[in-house]
Structure 1
Amino acid sequence: MKDRKAVARFGSRSAVRLADLALLVRAPAALSVPGDVIAGAAAAGRPLNARTLGVIGSSVCLYWAGMALNDYADATVDSVERPDRPVPSGRVPRRAALAVAGGLTVAGLGLAAVAGGRRSVGAAVPLAGLVWAYDLKLKSTPWGGVAMAGARVVDVLAGAVVPGRGAGSVGGALRRAAVPAGLVGVHTGTLMALSRYEVGGAPVRVPAATLAVSAVTAVATGLSVGRGAAKGALSGAVPSGLVAPRGGAANRHSPAPLKGVAGAARSKKLVAAAGALAYLGTYGTAQVRALRQPSAENVQRAVGAGILGLMPLQAALTARGGAPGLAAALGVVHPLARRLARRISPT
């Protein structure tokens, strides 16, 4: 009986199953990408509209491109350390992995141009550059972790600079998104530190250090809820009745709106705290396991937990920016991503 599974063709002779392409790009891990853009948009008061969704699509394409390029560049090493991966196993030709990486990069840059014009291209180009530089040159150097952390920082800032009504200046948007971008970058730095020991296991000091940094990141995220709620469609506008006339008493109808704003502030804090706790509960627990027994298997599990654990961190940062509803949605997606990761490893 003929195999009826979907295939993609590269050239005249090769055919690759779509399931193997999904393995190549670690498809479910891309669920960790939209939260970067959303957290940046929330911090800068950007609306969640078609432009923002286009930038999210661009970032997902560039993430998948990086995964495919990683396997292209590591084909020789993977043939020894991870022979079951699509490229060393022969299920995906090496040239096909490079073609996928190139095609997804072009698609990512094109989506950025369509969605946000020069502003979004200005973020997508350095993001793509960092991805390609990491996979082809920097991975085995001390700059590898810096490149990947920088890529995540740029991804958050890409959400902040999406153009639109009431978008304001680029400089102001970047300043407002600097803290969430920095926290995401710090988290990514811990992942990169652990990932160097996925094959041979780690010295105890490595998971001990990354766990400490993750704990500080969680505390900073949960407690540092910004005073100024993001304005615009992501956070909602402050009712005009809240503004008291100059030199006079507050509007007589202000108590109800004030209660609404107080309730929104409480929601921000609660969702941000819940996201930070979920982040530490997933990623932190995996790091504790690696600390107790820093075997290659436990370190690899910690890296996988950290990739998906980024989602509750993003949710907390989104709530911090004034969008607790979107933050809750990101939190709901996290269990789905964890379930999918059981079928396709994010590492």
Structure 2
Amino acid sequence: MSTARDWAELLRLPALFTVPGDALAGAATTGLHPNRRTLLAIGSSLCLYEAGMALNDWADRTEDAVERPERPLPSGRIAPPAALAAATALTAAGLTLASRAGRTALAVAGALAGTVWAYDLGLKHTPAGPAAMATARGLDLLLGATATAGRGNAPRARAAAPSAAVLAAHTLAVTEVSRHEAQGGSSTTPLAALAATTALGHAVGRGGWPGSLRRGDGIRQGAGPGPESGRGTGPDRRPHNPASQALRAGLALAYVGTTAKPLFHAVLNPSPPLTQRAVGGGIRAMIPLQAALSARAGAVGTALLTAALAPAARKFARKVSVT
């Protein structure tokens, strides 16, 4: 009989702490405070992420029986039909929550769900696999932006595109490394990932790309329906806020620090254990990256809230593997 720990291992529960920051970073780029629709986007993201985890192990159950027989499905602790049913139910729940945030949010969530299923069922072991995974993370951030902005606020939602691209680029680098976590490989992939994540950290720390929307950026306050739409930018979203600039730089440094050490070890010795550790570091680094993106948009409170998830992610990762 399956236990709660078996399901926690299947669903890689510690990795869940890396999910809310996607929607929060997306919300920050709109220049609006997080609202009820943001919470719906977070709930949708969590469901779709866990659907992908369950579906991933269901699709890889034959391969895992050889390479990772201790996993819940090949070890017999969870039956494959149960994993597939969980993936289906979680996908339906994620789409239902997104639909309550509006049609645009549902459309983005639908694209995200389609990408997740396509990756797990077909694209994962093809050259398009890393790009599909990167697309999924970018769409997750856009889900938070479109849900927060609401109907009729497309310019605010579009402002999330640069941040989504940064998150997607990080995901692409980590996914390329993860393709070698079972067998190990050459030093080239972790070295390329190390260079990419360092460059991303530098760009986020400096804020060197077109900015997110803030008060006075040419969008009428109150545009779009709902009481949350016109809340403006608030005291933690002032342009040129020294506090947000310092926080952004510190979080960008934390992001690079979280990724650099395990990747460097994998460069020196690309064995399966060190490669898996590098992948785990890349997954945990999502949190300071998301927080830095929020700080870059001037949302200091959102950045601090996101960063506060990191200690919990580290604590639970010691009990259940995130890879």
The answer to whether TM tops 0.5 is yes
1:277 counterpart residue number? 253
1:21 CA drift (Å): 1.2
Separation in 1 of the partners of 2:114 and 2:19?
17
Deviation at 1:228, TM superposition (A): 6.0
Tell me how far apart the structure 1 counterparts of residues 238 and 277 of structure 2 sit (CA, whole Å). Answer: 41
Pairing 1:134–2:119 present: yes
- Tell me, which stretches of 5 or more residues in structure 2 are unaligned? 216-229
| Matched residue, 1:289 | 265
1:34 pairs, out of 7, 10, 20, with 20
The structure-2 alpha-carbon separation of the partners of 1:47 and 1:293, relative to structure 1 and needing over 3 Å to count, comes to: same
Residue number among 135, 143, 152 corresponding to 2:128 in the alignment: 143
Q: In the aligned structure 2, how far is the partner of 1:82 from the partner of 1:224?
A: 41
Please give the residue correspondences for 1:162-311 in structure 2 after superposition, counting only pairs within 5 Å: 162=147, 169-170=153-154, 172-224=155-207, 230-231=214-215, 233=231, 235-236=233-234, 261=238, 265-311=241-287
TM-score scaled by structure 2?
0.91
The one-letter amino acid paired with 2:119 is Y
Q: What's the counterpart of residue 11 of structure 1?
A: none
Q: How many angstroms does 1:169 deviate by?
A: 2.6
Contact 1:229 1:235 in 2 (8 A): no
Secondary structure, in 3 states, of the residue corresponding to 1:345? coil
1:60: which partner in 2? 46
Equivalent position of 1:91 in the other structure: 77
Amino acid across the alignment from 1:156: L
Q: Does 1:319 align with 2:295?
A: yes
Question: Which whole-Å CA distance do the structure 2 matches of 1:93 and 1:316 have between them?
Answer: 40
| Contact 1:283–1:309, Cα closer than 8 Å, also in 2 | yes
1:62: how far off?
0.3
- State whether residues 308 and 334 of structure 1, in contact with CA within 8 Å, keep that contact through their aligned partners in structure 2: yes
Query: Which one has a bigger Cα radius of gyration?
Result: 1
Q: State percent identity of aligned pairs.
A: 45
In structure 2, give the amino acid aligned to 1:57. Answer: G
Does residue 158 in structure 1 map to residue 140 in structure 2? no
Structure 1 stretches lacking a partner, 5+ long: 1-14, 239-259
Residues 168-194 of structure 1: per-residue CA shift (max 9 Å, x gap): 532x12431111100000000001110
- Within a 5 Å distance, the mapping from 1:71-110 to structure 2 comes to 71-110=57-96
TM-score by length of 1: 0.84
Cα distance, 1:234–1:146 mapped onto 2, change above 3 Å: farther
Q: Alpha-carbon deviations, 1:100-139, whole Å to 9, x = none?
A: 000100000011112x121110111000000000000000
CA 1:163–1:208: 2 relative to 1, 3 Å: closer
Taking the aligned partners of 2:196 and 2:52, their CA distance within structure 1 comes to: 26
Report the equivalent of 1:253: none
**Cα gap change, 1:168 to 1:318, in 2 (>3 Å):** farther
Residue 103 to residue 261, structure 1, CA distance change in 2 (3 Å):
closer
- The alignment of Structure 1 onto Structure 2 pairs a total of residues equal to 308
What amino acid is aligned across from residue 246 of structure 2 in structure 1? L
Instruction: Give the Cα–Cα distance (whole angstroms) in 2 for the partners of residues 261 and 174 of structure 1.
Output: 19
